Copies of this chain bind each other. A is one copy, B any other.
Amino acid sequence: MNLKQLSELLGLSQTTVSRALNGYPEVNEATRERVLRAVKETGYRPNKAAQRLATGKAGSIGLVMPTAPGHQSDVHFGEFLTGLGEEAVRHDFHFVIMPADPDDEVAALRRLAISGNVDALFVAYMRGHDPRLAMLKSLSMPFVVHGRSFGTEPDYPYLDIDNEAAFNDATRLLLQLGHTRFALMNGPAHLDFAIRRRNGVVAALSERGLELAEDCTTHSVMSDEEGLIAMERFLQLPERPTAILCSSTVLALGAIRAVNQAGLKLGEDISLIAHDDVLPLLKPENFSVPLTTTRSSLRAAGVRIAQRLIGTVKQAGPFPEHELWKTELIVRASTGPAPQD
């Protein structure tokens, strides 16, 4: 069933039917009713491709999903997507997801944008000096970035959490508890959040004249295996750290396994603070020793970004260009006073 058939069925022109459907004022209420009834009966739905071609809009948000044969699926991605979806469903928006090799992201994003089947773009996994920004700005298509790009002028719309403050606060807490030997288990070194979190830690430490040692910093994919490996390395250090900052509860999962295997007690021998994205599967309060965390819901960020994206497409703005969310520091049992040795 297409517009032409529907209009013939009704004995009206395509124009009138289209206007009736799209809520234009210049159509008789009785006619509109009649059209709407026919739509319900026939189950007619406008062809989105045609609609898009005609209007340039079709109610869709585009995003790139990093993927590759060896590439591990990322719970953070799914959680964020759920947030986007929660908002999108309210506006009858859908997503166009372009899977792409992580090394090919800028090209993939470009293809997605000029493919002409999205109205707006969402971009994540930001890097320092991210090359996608220049491309995005040249595109004249609305976009919102999750995160920021360290080293780039922040003249683009973003939503980010205050990573630096989060890890600064966490470090301060551990300092107050008397810790002096710190380690940071971070995400991939080129990612923006990793850079900022590290800076937060370093700044807090340097206030007390302390430094973050090279061998007390790891950068890796955020999987539990990597957490385990990193922690095992820390524990073998001659002066082993007593305070661990951890960029994700996923890493913490592995890290804690290592702590247990070494026969150490979390919250006593080792204090640990992890960043909590509020993943349903990894509730910090459900760890055998509940985790002290910096918290910010990834899903909530997804909802908000969808709001801004959809709002911009629908011209329902204005929206703030920049949002920087504070994280909460929630103290549980994984942190305690520095052990006396």
Q: Which residues on A are within 8 Å of B, measured CB to CB?
A: 43, 45, 47-50, 52-53, 58, 60, 65, 67-69, 71-75, 77-79, 81-82, 84-86, 88-89, 93-101, 110-112, 114-117, 223-224, 250, 253-254, 257, 260, 280-283, 286, 288, 299
Contact = CB atoms under 8 A, between A and B. Distances in A.
15 contacts: A47-B115, A50-B116, A60-B96, A71-B86, A73-B81, A73-B82, A81-B97, A85-B99, A88-B99, A93-B99, A94-B99, A94-B112, A117-B117, A281-B281, A281-B282
A5 to B, nearest CB: 13
A223 B286 CA distance: 12
Given A75-B75, A89-B101, A99-B85, A49 B45 contact: no
Q: Which of A94, A100, A260 has the most CB of B within 10 A?
A: A94
A81 B65 CA distance: 10
B94 A94 contact: no
A115 B45 contact: yes
Given A75-B75, A223-B280, A65 B49 contact: no
Nearest to A108: B89
Contacts of A45: 111, 114-115
A250 B281 contact: yes
A44 to B, nearest CB: 9
Contact of A53 (B49, B60, B75): B49
Given A65-B85, A99-B94, A116 B47 contact: yes
Nearest to A261: B288
Nearest to A44: B114
Copies of this chain: 2
Contacts of A89: 67-68, 99-101
Q: Which of A88, A97, A280, A288 has the most CB of B within 10 A?
A: A97
Contact of A81 (B78, B101, B250, B253): B78
Given A85-B67, A89-B67, A95-B96, A75 B281 contact: yes
B94 A280 contact: no
B281 A224 contact: yes
A86 B115 contact: no
A96 B99 contact: no
A123 to B, nearest CB: 16
A299 B69 CA distance: 10
A251 to B, nearest CB: 11
Nearest to A111: B45
Q: Which of A47, A99, A110, A111 has the most CB of B within 10 A?
A: A99
Contacts of A112: 94
A77 B80 CA distance: 13
A68 B82 CA distance: 9
A237 B50 CA distance: 61
A290 to B, nearest CB: 12
Contacts of A81: 65, 73, 78, 97
A113 to B, nearest CB: 9
Contacts of A253: 281
B299 A73 contact: yes
Contacts of A114: 43, 45
A302 to B, nearest CB: 9
Nearest to A302: B73
